[in-house]
């Protein structure tokens, strides 16, 4: 299925500002965005441009100062903290730059962690964990602790953890930022598989142009505004500049 059939993520006139002392810092300003189901979207921009803030807002980790965010039928920006937590468990998968696996748990237990919050029995959990580990090709390392895995392997465990609950949306914050080229390629391949074969919507923040090249669409942010929308899913070379 080609992306663009229906938007999974809809962001309408989004504002986010922080107050530091008496100074108001505007991080996102009147940002509007739609991400179709099954799209692999890359967010690029200089440090402080608001990429991670936008990612956190879409994933329900933070609440906006103004505007609306919808993910599927859910009005994310109107949810309470506990509703957001519940929604995140089943609907969003996270991939972090530094993997953030729990060091005291094995690869299997790390992947199983989000499933503990869902009404599943042990066998159902086991089936889902093994499927996720198979996808990232790490079943043989499932009893290893993070300290016994390489960076690339840890990130693959992180991807398995992100997709084990079968969420519609996967967000990744610089997933290849801490990896060598080979490992980064492996991770990006898996993310592409998630989009193309499993129809997951992936939003990735990155500074790496090579990683961004693997995305279907690249959005450039500067000072909290979208400055460039580079859509590669349409005709090659076609570029649409969005001035917001």
Partner 1 sequence: MPGMGLETSLVEATYQLLLVLMILVAVAVIAGILTLPIFYGALGYKVVWFWAMDSSGNRGFSKVLSSFCRVFPPAFSIFATILSLGYFGAFDWPGRMLGTVKGYKPGPAQSAVKGLFDDFTRQIGEKAAPPLPQDVQINWARCPDKAQELVDLWDKEQAPPPDPFAAIFPEYQNPPPEPLGPPPVPKAVASRINQYIAAARDGSLYEGTSTREIDKSVLRSADYYFERAVKESKADQEKQISRIRAIILYALLILGPIPLIVFITAFVLGRRGVVLGMRNIIRALLRTSLTYLAVFVLVFVLCCIWSILSFIGAITKQNDSNLKGIVTEKHQIPSQMKPSHLSTVKALIAELPPGERPENIEDNIMTWAFVGGSLDPKKRTPQNSIFFFATEPEKLTKMMPGLEDLSGEERSQIDRAVEVMAKNKTAVVIGAERLRQMGKRVGDRMKMTSMNYKDVEFDFVIVAEFPLGSRWDTSAVMNRKYLEDELDAYAGRTGSQHPLAEKCMNLIWIRLPNSKAFQSLQVKINDPGKFSPAVKMEIESSAYANFLSPYKTLFWFMKWPLSIGLLAITTLVASLVIGIGVRERKTEIAVLKVLGFRPWMVLGLVLGEALLVGMLSGFMATATAYSAVNALGGISMGIAFFNRFYVPEDALWWGPLIGGISALIGSVLPSISAYGIKASQVFSRVT
Shortest reach from residue 136's CB to partner 1, in Å = 17
Site string for partner 1, 76-95 (x = CB under 8 A): -----xx--xx-xxx---x-
155 near partner 1 (CB under 8 A): no
Using the contact rule CB under 8 A, the part of the chain among 31-39, 107-115, 183-191, 208-216 near partner 1 is 107-115
Q: If we measure between CA atoms, which residue out of 34, 161, 146 comes closest to residue 94?
A: 161
Is 31:67 a contact under the CB 8 Å cutoff? yes
Give the residue with the Cβ less far from partner 1, 61 or 168: 61
148 near partner 1 (CB under 8 A): no
Contacts 24+ apart (CB under 8 A), 225-234: 225/29, 225/30, 225/31, 226/31, 226/32, 226/33, 227/45, 233/2, 233/3, 233/4, 233/39
17 near partner 1 (CB under 8 A): no
Structure tokens at 183: 């490992």
Q: Compute the distance between CA of residue 97 and CA of residue 99 in angstroms, rounded to an integer.
A: 6
Footprint of partner 1 on 109-138 (CB under 8 A): 109, 112-114, 116-117
61 near partner 1 (CB under 8 A): yes
Neighbours of 243 (CB within 10 A): 8
From 103, 121, 140, 235, residue interacting with partner 1 (rule: CB under 8 A): 103
100 near partner 1 (CB under 8 A): yes
Shortest reach from residue 60's CB to partner 1, in Å = 9
174 near partner 1 (CB under 8 A): yes
Q: Compute the distance between CA of residue 41 and CA of residue 61 in angstroms, rounded to an integer.
A: 19
Output the CA–CA distances (angstroms, integers) from residue 59 to 126, 153, 237, in the order listed.
26, 24, 31
Neighbours of 34 (CB within 10 A): 14
Using the contact rule CB under 8 A, the part of the chain among 69-77, 108-116, 220-228, 232-240 near partner 1 is 108-116
205 near partner 1 (CB under 8 A): yes
Residue ranges that bind partner 1, judged by CB under 8 A: 52-53, 56, 59, 61-62, 81-82, 85-86, 88-90, 94, 96-98, 100, 102-105, 109, 112-114, 116-117, 161, 173-174, 205
């Amino acid at each position: 299925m080609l992306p663009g059939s229906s938007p999974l993520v809809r962001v309408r006139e989004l504002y986010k500002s922080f107050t530091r002392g008496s100074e108001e810092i505007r991080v996102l300003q009147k940002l509007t965005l739609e991400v179709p189901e099954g799209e692999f979207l890359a967010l690029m921009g200089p440090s402080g441009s608001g990429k991670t803030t936008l990612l956190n807002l879409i994933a329900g980790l933070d609440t906006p100062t103004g505007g609306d965010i919808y993910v599927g039928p859910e009005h994310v920006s109107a949810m309470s903290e506990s509703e957001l937590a519940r929604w995140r468990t089943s609907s969003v998968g996270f991939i972090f730059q530094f993997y953030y696996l729990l060091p005291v748990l094995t690869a299997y237990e790390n992947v199983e962690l989000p499933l503990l919050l869902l009404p599943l029995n042990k066998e159902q959990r086991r089936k889902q964990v093994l499927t996720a580990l198979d996808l990232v090709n790490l079943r043989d390392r499932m009893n290893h602790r993070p300290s016994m895995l390489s960076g690339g392997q840890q990130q693959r465990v992180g991807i398995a953890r992100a997709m084990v609950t079968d969420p519609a949306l996967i967000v990744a914050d610089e997933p290849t930022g801490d990896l060598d080229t080979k490992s980064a390629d492996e991770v990006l391949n898996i993310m592409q598989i998630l989009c193309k074969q499993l129809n997951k919507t992936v939003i990735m923040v990155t500074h790496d142009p090579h990683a961004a090249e693997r995305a279907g669409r690249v959005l450039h942010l500067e000072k909290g505004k979208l400055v460039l929308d580079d859509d590669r899913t349409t005709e090659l070379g076609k570029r649409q500049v969005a001035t917001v």
